Structure 1
């Protein structure tokens, strides 16, 4: 069954949900999908876009970037850039987006403001404004909003300096136009950043990054009172990470904890799962179990309906390109480098070297050919059974060498393998990271020849 999110309509205002207008004090939304908001960075800064990007997912683990991976909203004032966006479904219907007002990586800059947008459906963004949160000589990082039902208002949580260290502050608001005075929300006595809120079963969970050991920790409270949270986890770690997000599955008692690598040089997202958020038990997922949008940094994830998911795809469109992941090295993607076809660990630049248009096969329309995004008119082909990137010469031999038939994955039928069109006893595989078309006979061969087509 889908997760039912309660949406409170204050007074007699109309709530429009999935195309239905209701005058009610309490309505419900059946969340069956997810939307992710993020900005982008890559190791050599090629992908740096400090604006709002969106991706959607039906299972919460595999993602489709929208708008060809380009921004859907860009700040109109302040620094002109954003980091750390957060999307919240308002209890009166529609959404609000808040974000750090920061362009690039100048983390020494003081700024008392955040960016704010309103959105009825995430297909358009209105009412852009900067909202001043405090007058302290410090930053206002990673804002995240939540609804405080006991007080009938929203909280906006963010990181700012307190007594020489970073702590979490909160301001309250009913309209995201004016806010109350800042209150110290969580200060364990050492530097913490990136607070994220999750409520379930009458308990509120606050996850954060600790600078003591670089781990993600969880605290909990029966109220949303400032100062009322007590840490209950021992810390989750998978490298230098920050930016936790806690997301519940819509279909079962399963939670995912996402974390972001600290540096764009290692710009990737990590994920863990738990069957019970109330205990200290998080298990790391492998890269075979989840994907991330290309170059996504410090994301936010919000539940949406299936109708909203489909409407976002219709509005912004799925990418006209794909990335192809290795089965047995699932952090590696097919790319070209020096015109050789190979697999390399994500992330890397130039990242367009891993983007492909899987077009109808040049020699057989029932097959596929890998057309390069970064080198128009170039395709992956085999020559001497080694796979290279080459310009289409229009010849029959080139077309045959560049055509493959998609078949169920040789190591896992839920994945994909690619059989050579002109050497049907051979499949595309990697060997010492280089791509070849080879006869597949062993279990290792089958794993090397299995891939997932995604984004």
Structure 2
């Protein structure tokens, strides 16, 4: 019995030690999005500091900008990054990878809407690693005029979400519709809450709304149902979600008042304002949060000559 207690205490100590070793990176960009990838870092997911440098300058796409950078770390430790490469005109998005966020692969332009010649745009590609199927899911918003009922939207601003999958970022599955919630939708983020339990945080981009909602599914590819009422004020977008000790934090861009906000939730049903608990540097724009080890953050800060 005594031995079991000792093993239990060792296990508890290991868990707490592992938690204390976690840090976070937050991909970012500054308007007008011509400089490239910027990044914030944190050790608690609430208080953020900016690296005062550009980590990757965009080279692909018609406009060669980098907006909405989304990053995920694969099982082999490689970081994969995708981004919006043009405001309009592109039928794909930018991609690059890195082991250390200092040395990057050659940038690629990944075409995903070539079979839809009237596509207006490809916005905010978002990465999700599906640990069940061992593949990456990439979702994004595109407008195909006259494809869906537009409501109050202009035909060239009536978005739906699409997706492709890949295991190696060399071959990709055919593009398919990801979600049509019955309204213009952009900036969607897949969150795995538990086995067979997924939430989709999204922006309702219709004129009366322009706020954040959430839907639910038992598979990362959907179908997502039961779209919620909005849980943020109007003029919010670019959400990213991070797991914290007592639940989840959902960050978002309050673009009307040029600030960054957050809400806390334990169940994605009730939400609590967390603005007073966070600090985000000025000029930070739409990105994603990636957990890393404190040792990785220490090396990155050293390589970027950050105190």
Tell me which interval the TM-score lies in, with the shorter structure as reference length: 0.7 to 0.9
- Please, which runs of 5 or more residues in structure 2 have no aligned partner? 1-14, 149-157
Seen in structure 2, the aligned counterparts of structure 1 residues 132 and 2 have a Cα distance that, compared at 3 Å, is farther
Q: State yes or no: 1:97 paired with 2:87.
A: no
Write the distance in 1 (CA, Å) between the matches of 2:128 and 2:16.
21
CA apart distance, 1:31: 6.4
How many angstroms does 1:271 deviate by?
0.7
CA distance in 2, matches of 1:230, 1:73: 37
- 1:231 paired to 2:239: no
SS in 1 for 2:303: helix
Match of 1:187 in 2: 180
Correspondence list, 1:79-228, <5 A? 79-102=63-86, 107=87, 109-135=88-114, 136=116, 137-138=118-119, 139-162=121-144, 163-164=147-148, 165-202=158-195, 203-212=197-206, 213-226=209-222, 228=223
Q: How many residues get paired?
A: 275
RMSD over aligned Cα, in angstroms? 2.2
**Is 2:38 the partner of 1:53?**
yes
Q: Show the counterpart of 1:369.
A: none
Where 2:29 maps in the other structure, the secondary structure is strand
Any conservation in 1 of the 2:192–2:220 contact (CA below 8 Å)?
no
TM-score relative to the length of structure 2: 0.83
Alignment check: 8 A CA contact 1:39 1:52 kept: yes
Distance across 2 between alignment mates of 1:299 and 1:31: 23
Cross-structure match for 1:430: none
Alignment of 1:320-359 (within 5 A): none
Answering whether residue 298 of structure 2 is matched by residue 299 of structure 1, we say no
- Say whether residues 1:74 and 2:53 are aligned partners: no
SS in 2 for 1:127: coil
Taking structure 1 as reference, are residues 2 and 246 closer, same or farther at Cα in structure 2, changes over 3 Å only? farther
Q: How does 1:255-294 map to 2 (within 5 A)?
A: 255-262=248-255, 266-274=257-265, 276=266, 278-286=267-275, 288-294=276-282
Matched residue SS, 1:309: helix
SS in 2 for 1:303: strand
Structure with more relative contact order (C-alpha pairs < 8 Å, separation 6 or more): 2
- Supply the distance in 1 between the matched residues of 2:69 and 2:21 (Cα, whole angstroms): 21
Give yes or no for contact 2:96–2:107 (8 Å, CA) kept in 1: yes
Whole-Å separation in 1 of the counterparts to 2:268 and 2:133? 28
For 1:24-35, what aligned pairs fall within 5 Å after superposition? 32-35=22-25
What CA distance in whole angstroms lies between the structure 1 residues aligned with 2:163 and 2:296?
Answer: 30
Is 1:64 paired with 2:49? yes
State the SS of the aligned residue for 2:299.
helix
Equivalent position SS for 1:310: helix
Alignment partner of 1:180: what SS? coil
Inter-partner Cα distance in structure 2 for 1:229 and 1:149 = 19
Give the equivalent residue in structure 1 for 2:4. none
Give the structure with the higher percent helix. 2
SS at match of 2:277: coil
Q: Aligned equivalents of 1:254 and 1:117: distance in 2? A: 31
Name the CA distance, whole Å, in 1 between partners of 2:221 and 2:287. 26
Q: Distance in 2 between matches of 1:146 and 1:289?
A: 27
> Who is 1:38 aligned against?
28
> How far is 1:59 from its partner?
0.6
Report if aligned partners of 1:272, 1:282 keep a CA contact under 8 Å in 2.
yes
Equivalent residue, structure 1, for 2:306: 318
Q: Is the 8 A contact 1:131 1:178 kept in 2?
A: no
Larger strand fraction of residues: 1
Shift in Å at residue 93 of structure 1? Answer: 2.0
* TM-score, length basis structure 1: 0.57
Assess if the C-alpha contact under 8 Å between 1:214 and 1:237 holds in 2.
no
Tell me by how many angstroms 1:159 deviates.
0.5
How far did 1:126 drift? Answer: 1.7
Q: Distance in 2 between matches of 1:237 and 1:99?
A: 25
Q: CA deviation at 1:53?
A: 0.2
Query: 1:253, CA displacement in angstroms?
Result: 2.9
Unaligned runs of 5+ residues in structure 1 are 5-28, 320-455
Deviates more, 1:73-82 or 1:144-153: 144-153
